[in-house]
A and B are shown apart, each in its own frame.
Chain A
Amino acid sequence: MDYPDDVRYTQDHEWAKQEGGVVTVGITSYATDQLGDVVFVELPEVGRRLEAGKSFGVVEAVKTVSDLFAPVSGEVVEVNGAIGDNPALVNQSPFGDGWMVKIRPADAGEFGKLLSNVDYENLVEESH
């Protein structure tokens, strides 16, 4: 199980990475492990405003479906087109090529409130 330390985490198993005024968001390897083969991801359009903690899309596996929750509020500036044709990328590289959206954050303070990799790892271990 992967808990990279260059990103932060949410309780709902999303990760967020801040680089140069843009926050990239995806789901963790724990999430993909639980879901199984991802078959489809429903993502918002560029320009859509997201609210922290609210659903911004859906990830579909064979037998389950899960909402995606925005780690921070802001505007969607880019959406990963590659996972439309190849949803398997989410399983293969959840922290890399399987990223989902990039957000321009509305509130700089929100990112700091997300979980560190240590806290996230504890959260996952506890629920077992």
Chain B
Amino acid sequence: MSLNRRLLNERGGEGHRGPSLPACDVPVRPLAELLPGVPLRASLDLPQVSEPEVVRHFIELSSLNHHIDKGLYPLGSCTMKHNPKINDELAALPGFALSHPLAGDEANQGSLRVLLELQRTLAEITGFAAVTTQPVAGAHGEMTGLMLIRAWHRSRGEGEQRTRVIVPDSAHGTNPASVHLMGWETVTVPSGPDGCVDLERLKAALDTRTAAIMFTVPNTLGLFERAIREVTAAAHTVGAQCYMDGANLNALVGLVRPGDLGFDVMHINVHKTFSTPHGGGGPGGGPVAVAAHLEPFLPAPVVEERDGRLRLVHDRPHSIGRVHSFNGNFGILVRALAYIATLGPEGLRQVSRSAILNANWLKARLARAYELPYPGHCMHEFVLSGRGLKAHGVKTLDVAKRLLDFGVHAPTVYFPLIVDEALMIEPTETETLDHLVHFAECMERIVAEAAEDPERLRTAPHDTTVGRLDEGRAARELQLTWRKPATRPTDQVSPAGRS
């Protein structure tokens, strides 16, 4: 019998109190006097709960989560590596935690130093000239990168004509979504049978309407596009820019630099490659690195050093403007810098090396039980197809759900779209061999179960707090708050708010 499955609004009651506040030590004048004529609210219907009950509530909820400190997340293109604990402590240092960006450069030399050092080191790692830390997520970085490209085309009088972006059919969904945000058009180019982009089709698609190409390297199949320099050269020939989606940077760190492959701009997911914690969905960090010709367009302000003093420079006439309230997710960037400093040059090279080794070992092992659409060596991730299990009436979704029973998070499923019943697997470099073996054994057991007891897979998971949830019903009923069932989306409200 569990006491503990109530929401906050079902707990506590009148008179329950959390931590108290100091008594008011300035003259207590009535609010009506201090806020004359200001309409105040009649009621605030938030729960009242004591601290012990709040703690129990959230601790109980915490026990319902899988997390990287507990077990593997072999999610392709997510790079769920260990989150070093020293980094959390450093980000929480009061000098960082309390620093206020509007206090002036003199008061914030320490914070500015973090940003400058991180920019320099990310530029070195990626082979670019300059970095902005304002974007706070990969998607945010994509948007910023495309805006930089647009600004560059405009500076050359080609802003109106260049409205198309070419992506491979293996691209992550944020790529076309970001293109759409710009009001541009996505042109998709198919991959060849080797999993790499069809170079001839790409060249045919390139013309003077192309603003940019957007590529992930290695691609979402975990394959390094051998012809990538031909790709970027072809794009440059028609006057287009080359954007790299940095989601798979973990395969490249210390091995090869995107700037050396002909790219002009990329975003970096610090919550992937640089170990910052995922927090249940954020915060992340999406710094953008650019080649020298795009540097003048970077979001303002930028950090500069002169005579040992650091300052924020706002006078940047070609800047695309701000994309964030301040300078990006500083608290996350501290962690990324600490991680890089912990590793140093040798450690960084070790990252891609071990990531690639782990992925290839796992691929070789799982090739015995699963179909491998691209059997050659992979980089840091690879894709299996669960197609072979269809004969037993089992789908990739069922494989994913059954893994949850074994204490392993599912890999990325049904992506990339070009592989049927895809399972995209990325172990990362911080998994030890016994965890890789355990994961492989779970996957093999599932294949055996598919033949012996497919129903067990189709109804998985069995050992989690809830089973498969009815998502169709949830989307139709749409209860999004505890207050009352959400009014149906077709209800009329303000005259202007009607669809």
A residues within 8 Å of B by Cβ? Answer: 36-40, 60-63, 84-85, 87-88
B471 near A62: Cβ-Cβ < 8 Å? yes
- Distance in angstroms from B177 CB to nearest chain A CB is 13
The smallest C-beta distance from A35 to any residue of chain B, in angstroms, reads 10
In the assembled complex, the Cα of A60 lies from the Cα of B472 at a distance in Å of: 10
A37 to B476, CA, bound (A): 9
Please state if B490 and A84 are interface contacts (CB–CB under 8 Å). yes
Q: Is B226 an interface residue (CB 8 A)?
A: no
> Could you give 24 example pairs across A and B, Cβ below 8 Å?
A36-B472, A37-B471, A37-B472, A37-B473, A37-B475, A37-B476, A38-B472, A39-B472, A39-B475, A39-B476, A40-B475, A40-B476, A40-B489, A60-B475, A61-B472, A62-B471, A62-B472, A62-B475, A63-B471, A84-B490, A85-B488, A85-B490, A87-B476, A88-B476
Give the CA-CA distance A88 to B473 in the complex, in Å. Answer: 9
Q: Which residues of B contact A36 (CB under 8 A)?
A: 472
With a cutoff of 8 Å between Cβ atoms, the chain B residues found around residue A39 in the complex are 472, 475-476
Q: How far is the CA of A61 from the CA of B476 in the complex (A)?
A: 10
Question: What residues of chain A lie closer than 8 Å to B488, measured between beta carbons?
Answer: 85
> Nearest-CB distance from B178 to chain A (Å)?
18
Q: Which residue of B lies closest to A84 (CB)?
A: B490
A contact residues around B476 at 8 Å (CB): 37, 39-40, 87-88
Nearest residue in A to B476 (C-beta to C-beta)? A39
Report chain A residues within 8 Å CB of B475.
37, 39-40, 60, 62
Main secondary structure of the interface of A (DSSP, over half): mixed
Please, which residue of chain B has its CB at the minimum distance from the CB of A88?
B476
Give the top 5 A-B pairs by smallest Cβ distance, nearest first. A37-B472, A39-B475, A62-B471, A84-B490, A39-B476
- Other 9 A-B pairs with CB < 8 A, given A37-B473, A60-B475: A36-B472, A37-B471, A37-B475, A38-B472, A40-B475, A62-B472, A62-B475, A84-B490, A85-B490
- Mask of B157-192 contacts with A, CB within 8 angstroms, 1/0: 000000000000000000000000000000000000
Which residue from chain B places its CB closest to the CB of A45 in the assembled complex? B499
In the assembly, what is the distance between CA of A56 and CA of B473, in Å?
25
For the complex formed, measure the closest distance between the CB of A36 and the CB atoms of chain B, giving whole angstroms: 7
Q: How far apart are the CA atoms of A33 and B476 in the complex, in Å?
A: 18
Whole-angstrom distance from the CB of A90 to the nearest CB of chain B? Answer: 11
Closest residue on chain B to residue A60 by CB atoms = B475
Chain A CB within 10 Å, residue with most, of B471, B488, B489: B471
A-facing residues in B38-78 (Cβ within 8 Å):
none
A39 to chain B, nearest CB (A): 4
Chain B residues lying within 8 Å of A60, measured Cβ to Cβ, are: 475
Q: How far is the CA of A88 from the CA of B477 in the complex (A)?
A: 11
Please measure, in the bound complex, the distance between the C-alpha atom of A63 and the C-alpha atom of B475, giving whole angstroms: 11
Who on chain B is nearest to A61 by CB? Answer: B472
The residue on A at minimum CB distance from B475 is: A39
Cβ contacts under 8 Å, A62 to chain B? 471-472, 475
* B278 smallest CB distance to A (angstroms): 22
Query: Which chain A residue lies CB-closest to B477?
Result: A39
CB-CB contacts below 8 Å: B418-477 with A: 471-473, 475-476
B369 to chain A, nearest CB (A): 26
**Chain A nearest CB: distance from B479 CB in Å?**
13
Distance from B492 Cβ to chain A, minimum over Cβ atoms (Å): 12
Complex CA distance for A39 and B476, rounded to whole angstroms: 5
For A87, list chain B residues within 8 Å (CB): 476
Q: In the assembled complex, which residues on chain B have CB atoms less than 8 Å from the CB atom of A61?
A: 472
- Return the chain A residue nearest B472 by Cβ: A37
Whole-angstrom CA separation of A36 from B471 in the bound complex = 11
Smallest CB separation, A119 vs chain B (Å): 27
Assembly CA distance A85 to B490 (angstroms): 8
Find residues 475-492 in chain B having any chain A CB closer than 8 Å to their own CB: 475-476, 488-490
What's the Cα separation between A82 and B476 when bound, in Å?
14
Chain B residue numbers with a CB within 8 Å of A88 are: 476
CA–CA, A38 and B476, complex, Å:
8
Q: List A contacts of B489 (CB < 8 A).
A: 40
Q: Which residue of B lies closest to A87 (CB)?
A: B476
Q: Report Cα–Cα, A38/B471, bound state, in Å.
A: 11
Taking the closest CB of chain B, its distance from the CB of A56, in whole angstroms, is: 15
Closest chain B CB from A83 CB (angstroms): 11
* Bound Cα distance A85, B472 (Å): 14
Whole-angstrom distance between the Cβ of A115 and the nearest chain B Cβ: 27
- Which residues from chain A contact B472 at a C-beta distance below 8 Å? 36-39, 61-62
Give Cα A60 to B475, complex, Å. Answer: 10
Query: Which chain A residue shows the least CB distance to B414?
Result: A63
Residues of A within 8 A of B490 (CB): 84-85
Assembly CA distance A49 to B472 (angstroms): 31
